[in-house]
Chain A
Amino acid sequence: MNARQSKRTIPGAPIFDSDAARRGYALNKMCYSFNSKANRDEFVSNEVAYCKKFGLDEAQIQAITTRDVLALIRVGGGVYFLGKLAGGVLGLDMQDIGALQTGVSKEEFKAKLVAAGH
């Protein structure tokens, strides 16, 4: 597994690569299903049952039920697919998601974005 050992990492920037795509396929497929309102509604009515229908494993289900965004990425979630869960199902915007991942309040996260323009 030399390729894995030599894989380049960028601190704080998880890469959605072959390993993530393999690990996260079921999770991402479930999120892809949220392109349909009927499926979003079915998820909301029973989250765990919906996760199981797509074959998510325990770690993935726990990341879903605890709304742990960093964990969702660790278990193979791709951000564009997780975005459908966050935006379309949970009603969170990208500053909510950013704040959740960086451990600051939403206002602090937004202030940091504004400061990047100065």
Chain B
Amino acid sequence: MAKIVGIMTTSHVPALGKAIHLNLQQDPYWKPFFDGFPPIREWLERVKPDIVVSCYNDHGLNFFLDKQPTFAIGTAPELVSADEGWGIPTMPSFPGHEDLAWHIRDSLIRDDFDMLTCQEMLVDHAFTLPMALLWPDQKWPVKSVPVCVNTVLFPLPSGRRCFKLGEAIGRAIEAFPEDAKVLVIGSGGLSHQLEGERAGFINKAFDLKFMDSMVNDPQWATQFSDLDLVEQTGNEGVELLNWLVARGTVSGPVRVVHSNFHIPISNTAAATMLLEPV
């Protein structure tokens, strides 16, 4: 049976794409963020997950406003990195895990989650950057299942709904009849705001409380509405919804394998956590 071996959550600042491309990992500006990853890569080397289920938000690559799903899942055999107009270099395509993706998709719909199903899928920096942070040689040793959450067009799915989606994904993974080790990724956040007169807003106290809640009180952030989250974490801080989906996949307690927090990377409070079920 498939088993969730860890949850890795990280910020996905677009500028990281250029930093990776230019090999700036040891540059003083970028180093405090990239230094969060060697301990995670040691863990990967030891645990060797077979499959990644990545919970992230598209920023206008696979989806435009002509068709904007609240939740989507990629069942495509190949997940394609493409020009997203932000000047981020593209990466090699990612193999999809079709069997698990279809299994999760069927299970979620039977569980009352109306997923949009993508048999072809482009993946943007929110999907690709965490992968490149975990496997810098970009030779992907895993197959992936992308789960996409709308953080573009308000209202957004509530934190409570996102957590429940995670719970349902977790149940589907645990019921998948194949021996496989699954790493769940939650991509985005933490506090940041790109637009408006309050651009540059960061809320360190909220972020630290949220990171603590991922371990000690996983549903803490589900008390906030989408607009509450904007007020507390900035317009794009709402991407923490992807962390809630990821955290929801593990029903029991977790322990912190590694954690990193640094302000700022670009306009963002950049955070990374690796959690392991106990």
Contact = CB atoms under 8 A, between A and B. Distances in A.
Interface string B144-160: 00000000111100000
Contacts of A15: 154, 227, 230, 235
A25 B153 CA distance: 12
Interface in A82-118: 82-84, 87-89, 91, 93-95, 97-98, 101-102, 109, 112-114, 116-117
B194 A17 contact: no
A116 B262 CA distance: 10
**Listed residue (A12, A18, A78) with the most chain B CB atoms within 10 angstroms of its CB:** A12
B174 interface: no
A36 interface: yes
B15 A93 contact: yes
B271 to A, nearest CB: 12
Interface residues of B, number: 41
Nearest to A69: B195
Interface in B52-71: 59-61, 64-66
B241 to A, nearest CB: 15
Interface residues of A, number: 48
Interface stretch (A27-35, A44-52, A55-63): A27-35
A82 B30 CA distance: 25
A84 B84 contact: yes
Contacts of A112: 200
A68 B267 CA distance: 20
A83 B59 contact: yes
Given A70-B196, A101-B199, A113 B86 contact: no
B252 interface: no
Interface of A: 8, 10-18, 21, 25, 28-29, 31-32, 34-37, 40, 69-70, 73, 78-84, 87-89, 91, 93-95, 97-98, 101-102, 109, 112-114, 116-117
Given A21-B65, A81-B60, A102-B198, 19 more contacts: A13-B234, A15-B230, A16-B154, A16-B235, A25-B65, A28-B60, A31-B60, A32-B85, A35-B85, A70-B197, A78-B65, A79-B235, A80-B59, A80-B60, A83-B194, A87-B14, A88-B86, A98-B194, A116-B263
